[in-house]
Homo-oligomer: A and B are copies of this chain.
Amino acid sequence: MSIPAAPALAAALEAWRAALGADAVAADPATIDRYARTTQTGAPRPSCVLYPTSTEKVQALVRIASDHGIVVYPISCGKNWGYGDACAAVEGAAIVDLGRMNRILEVHSDLAYCVVEPGVTQGQLHAHLRDTKSGLWVDATAAGPDSSILGNTADRGIGHTRHGDHFRTCCGMEIVLADGRVLKTGYGHFPGAHATHVYPYGVGPYMDGLFTQSNYGIITKLGLWLIPEPEDFAFFYLQAREFEDFAPLIERLRPLRLDGTLATAVHIGNDFRVLAGTGKYPWDLTGGVAPLPPQVRKHLRDISGAQAWQGSGSICGTRAQVRAGKQALKRAMRGVGTVRFLNDRTLARLETLHALLSRIGQKHRLERMVKIIRTNFELLKGVPVRQPLMGAYWRLRKPPEEPGDPLDAGVGLYWVSVVMPMRGVDALRVLNIARPIIEAHGFDHDVSMILVNERALVSTNIIAFDKRLPDECAKASECYDKLFETLLKAGYPVYRSGPQGMAKLRAHDSVFWDVATDIKRALDPKDIIARGRYIAPLE
């Protein structure tokens, strides 16, 4: 039983108001409604929302939660769209909104790292680094400027630059445990230690990984490595014509990822990633039909210049290093697709050309390509643009002109993002499992394949739907279950899950989940923090 009894909740609210201040506790229906919103087909409703402003307040609030047996669910900025949003895994939780803890505590320019609180957004840190002329870039995900860096890292999210694997570049955490203790990882717990944010492991067990994709504590500070602005930057944009071309393409790219020529998390999207990322569903052209009929898809692909696959990344370094890297990539792409390189100057020129053509009515073909190129170009410099969120609005009957918070527009969204070895054979197997399932449920196979590290691909399948249509909601939920389970059974588990998938991950009993539970019991025996998140509820 997770729903708190009314007297327990009332007592907890009183204690929280005393400890945190009245303005840091909300239990009014409007606030609860707002936090209960979800891009998924349903989500547990919270009992209240708490807004701590410091680590000490977080310590106080978990102690109170523990005293009164109320589950707390920490969110950083609550923008986990498509993976559970700001919603707890159980009913009646107190949402701990860490958004007011939004200080950038340190930026070290020589050592290229920063220390941030949970509420620091991608946009905020990017602006800070730019405005202070720090000469540093932060990685950005496609979730836009308002999402939390710490929150994304805690869920092991993926960005675009060579720091795209966020967990791999985080270093030194501060964590509030269920009993109110503050754990500092790595060297952080040694008084005066200098290397806390430059050497992740410290000495003794390296614990940081435990606090990602789990519910063992509330991360209140995070060290994160930054990227020194390179002398030279070449954005590249590659394309391959046919669906099956992905196999030879990835066979050619893998050696370059392995040898470091491609150091960024190259994202390769299919044609839907272009269409949905740069425009609206053409309800007029399809006469209200979905998924997109093949001939309309072909038409849109042709007039937009999209191909079956388009990927982007960057090569950075000195001018000579960039030249050498471009050479290696060009050579690798021979016979499997095309690759084009752009820098600030050449992209600006392309945009001018587009503007000119647009003025004489010849806009279509360049418009979308320029848009998607600009978006990816910015992401590869760590600029958290809003444009990629567009994809989430694809199936809305009445989408807004510009992307904002998907929850404001009634966006329905499930991500099924699975991991496979970086090989053509695995990639095609995954794509060929996903496509028919997604299409059979009436959705478009909007997918990208991310070279997340040197050896693995992540396939992010988006199920975008219109939450105002109950039938589409039901189909989306069914599609999610089927896709998630089929890929899992085929040996391709997700890299990250929303609440609807978590129990599926545990369906096959294993020592792994038993140990995860053993650790939960050791660190949070009352199961107060984020009950049911990844780890099964206790009892």
Give the interface of A toward B (CB within 8 A).
Answer: 110-113, 156, 162, 167-168, 177, 181-185, 187-195, 197-199, 201-214, 216, 225, 228, 230, 254-255, 258-261, 263, 316-318, 320-321, 323-325, 327-328, 419-423, 426, 452-456, 488-497, 505, 508, 510-516, 518-519, 521-523, 534-535
A408 to chain B, nearest CB (A): 30
Chain B: minimal CB distance from A485 (Å): 12
Whether A189 touches B419, Cβ cut-off 8 Å, given contacts A199-B452, A202-B493, A205-B212, is no
| A316→B184 contact, CB < 8 A | no
Q: Give the residues in chain B near A320, CB-CB below 8 Å.
A: 320, 323-324, 327-328
A324 & B318 in contact (Cβ 8 Å cutoff):
yes
Complex alpha-carbon distance, A308 and B116, angstroms? 40
Q: A316-B259, A492-B194 are in contact. Are A511 and B203 (CB under 8 A)?
A: no
Task: Judge whether A187 and B519 touch: CB under 8 Å.
Answer: no
> Which residues in B have their C-beta under 8 angstroms from that of A328?
317-318, 320-321
Q: List 9 A-B contacts (CB under 8 A).
A: A111-B423, A162-B260, A177-B511, A184-B511, A195-B492, A203-B496, A225-B454, A259-B317, A261-B321
CB closest chain-B residue, reference A512: B189
Which residue of chain B has its CB nearest to the CB of A202?
B493
Distance A495 CA – B186 CA, assembled complex (angstroms): 10
Chain B nearest CB: distance from A505 CB in Å? 6
> Shortest Cβ distance from A454 into chain B, in angstroms?
7
Known interface pairs A495-B199, A518-B523; A421-B512 also in contact (CB < 8 Å): no
Cβ-neighbour of A209 out of B110, B201, B491 (below 8 A): B201
- By the criterion CB–CB under 8 Å, are A204 and B419 in contact? no
Query: Do A216 and B205 contact each other (CB < 8 Å), given the known contacts A184-B511, A422-B198, A508-B191?
Result: yes
Q: Whole-angstrom distance from the CB of A460 to the nearest CB of chain B? A: 14
A195 to B454 CA separation, bound complex (whole angstroms): 12
Nearest chain B CB to A84 CB, angstrom units: 14
Known A184-B512, A203-B213, A203-B505; 18 more pairs at CB < 8 Å? A156-B201, A181-B515, A187-B419, A189-B510, A190-B493, A193-B493, A199-B419, A203-B497, A203-B534, A204-B513, A204-B516, A207-B209, A208-B209, A260-B260, A260-B316, A261-B317, A320-B324, A320-B328
